[in-house]
Amino acid sequence: MTKKKLATLCLVIGMFLNPLGFDAIQLMLIQLTGSLLRANFVLYCLAVFFFGLYFYFSGNNPLITIKDIILTIYQDKIVYNFKKFKNKKRES
């Protein structure tokens, strides 16, 4: 199995385990743990684990991806504020 296929499989499993409505697994975990909060915690941990495996196998760094998204959205404001700051510094 290639890394790309393995990354896709981990992403699918991570999204499936995200505890926003998978009742059969949720019910089974509630019965095993005796608590809704513990069952949700287990599902969140499994989802984070498989999302982590997805990022590992795909070679994507989520922090760099988020940074790039923020920079593309706010690039004009960042440049404007930097120029404004630079002009104030020159005046001082």
- CA atoms of 38 and 29, how far apart (whole Å): 8
Query: Is 90 exceeded by the pLDDT of residue 24?
Result: no
- Which pLDDT band holds residue 8 (cuts at 50, 70, 90)? confident
- Cα separation, 42 vs 49, in Å, equals 11
**What's the predicted TM-score (pTM) here?**
0.55
Residue 63, classified by CB atoms within 10 Å of its CB into exposed (0-12), middle (13-18) or buried (19+), is exposed
- Whole-angstrom Cα distance, residue 84 to residue 68? 23
**For the chain, what is the mean pLDDT?**
82
Residue among 5, 21, 7 at smallest CA distance from 60: 7
